[in-house]
Chains A and B, each alone.
Chain A
Amino acid sequence: MSARTMFRASLQIGELQIPVRLYAAVEDRKIHFRLLHADDHVPVVQKMVDAETGDEVRRDRIQRGLEVEPGQFVAFEDEELDALAPETSRTMSVEAFVATEQVDFAWFDRPYYLGPDGTESNYFAFAQALAKTNKLAIVRWTMRKTRYVGAVRAGPGYLLLVTLRHVGEITIPRGLKADAAEVDPKQLALARQLVSTLADDFDPSLFKDDDRERVRKLVEAKRAGAVIPIAQGRKPSETKDLSDALRRSLRDLKEKRHA
């Protein structure tokens, strides 16, 4: 099954161009409910009311505004906003390339796949060049009257595009120089052993969404007219003796393995 193309563009890298198609990489699996009036189970509609009086304000009387000073707004008509909106452009321009590890995860917003549109040779050559240099491309494009900034990365043999959050929308702590002497070497050795015992590959199929499953069961139970029980977890407490906890952890894990 191939997915729906969301957008077609041309990736512009200096003089070089790669026609691409954009596909959503994530899908919504949430179970959605609608809000209903309890009395008659009629779906509710949203209305805007005056915060002070509670009186309804009709759609055509509502204005949209941007706060410029506290308590001071500048209102915009729909036509004014339309005039300000950027034109859709088929060019996805590369602003710069930067080492992959330079872009913190906090910037990443939503992932998409980029697939080749027509000719494939440039697409695969670019994916390989990105992987080889271990870099990502910072790109800008305009889609559905909105300007986006994104990062193009190489997956193994394909291109991934992740939209980026904007400057001012995140705070990344710069980090403090951790002093090596502050960590007890014995504890470090124990911790190293513990991590290697718990070492594994990244396998998302191991993550289970119990929440979703529970909601699905509730809906099914309500169809039939029943209710389901819920499980509980254990309560951990703070570690007092770090070395002792590390040692006991290793022993526990070994016992589990030999059991």
Chain B
Amino acid sequence: MPEEMEEATPRGIWSGILSFGLVSIPVDLHSITHPRRHRMRMLGPEGERLQRRYYCPEHERVLQSDEIVRGYEEDDGSFIVVDDDEIAALEPKRSREVDLQRFVPADQLSPLYVKRSYLLLPGKDSQRAYRLLARIMEETERVGIGSFVMRGHTYVVAITSARGILRAQTLRQADEVRSPEDVGLPDPPDQIDRQRVRAFVEAIDSLSIEAFDPAITEDEDETTLLAAAREKQEEGDVVEVPEESDDEGSSVVDLMALLKERLLGPPSSAASSSTLHDQTRQELYERAQELGIAGRAKMTKEELIDAIAKSA
């Protein structure tokens, strides 16, 4: 089933240790959100594949990634220039640990703060501790709060548990979220019209469904566009585009199968993918960081593979 497939490695996008107190649980973090399946792409007049490039309007030429620096724009329009290495020196050290420093009531976790949800799978031989944490959070109806470093950024996460499976929710910072007062919402009146409330409760009851059906979130814009595209396709109105040099190398992982294997089955032995093509851009980026490759922040996956292969 396509919904259950995920372009990733069995190790996920981050591997580390979940700790509460002195209990350490090796875990792998997996993305469960994917980009939309059908996206508009830009093509050349004859259907050529295009690439985005940076161009200097002064020198009137395309720039290579090592010819680009970052600038912080001052009020007067001048720039404070910082280079990649200075930014990299600032990046927090890769931390392998999510230390759960507090456990808060699950119902206090508001969607105002939740940014993105990830799946946590137990690493090798850590099923028992993983199950224990999942079990205790469900029982106490609490979620663990901690932070970790991924892709050179510190993330605050809420670790939640449902049906024995742990999830990590990245959270927004307090100053990124406006309060109802910031927005200027009025205070509720002392007296709320009971009859009106009853009328709404009745309306709610009559329109209620038992279970949330994902189909209700269908992307109607995509459906409309796709139907129009199919129509044109049938009329033969298509543009042939040369296949991308097919060395993306992204292995497809069945998350449900992986989940079963990690929670119930024998520990996986195929976790280490060795070729550069099998690694995510982030893994490659981190490798490039270790190797001190200049201009790595602006490189594509292919460029990173190239640069790493050359410097190794």
Contact = CB atoms under 8 A, between A and B. Distances in A.
A108 B80 contact: no
Interface string B51-89: 111111111001100111111110000011110001101
Interface string B249-269: 000000110011001100000
B100 A198 contact: yes
B197 A129 contact: yes
Given A48-B51, A191-B132, A239-B24, A200 B103 contact: yes
A253 B20 CA distance: 11
What 3 A-B pairs are tightest by C-beta distance, nearest first?
A: A249-B21, A2-B184, A175-B163
A26 B136 CA distance: 32
B228 interface: yes
A31 B39 CA distance: 29
Contacts, number: 530
Interface residues on B, range: 35 or more
21 contacts: A47-B52, A47-B54, A49-B51, A51-B48, A54-B53, A54-B62, A67-B41, A68-B229, A108-B114, A121-B192, A121-B196, A125-B197, A166-B36, A166-B218, A169-B33, A169-B34, A171-B34, A173-B165, A176-B163, A183-B131, A207-B171
B183 A38 contact: no
Interface residues of A, number: 163
B142 A199 contact: yes
B contact face: mostly helix, strand, loop, or mixed: mixed
B119 to A, nearest CB: 6
Contact of B140 (A23, A103, A196, A201): A196
Contacts of B19: 236
A39 B214 CA distance: 52
Interface string A235-259: 1111100100110111011000000
Contact of A173 (B35, B87, B256): B256
Contacts of A219: 72, 80, 82
Nearest to A222: B80
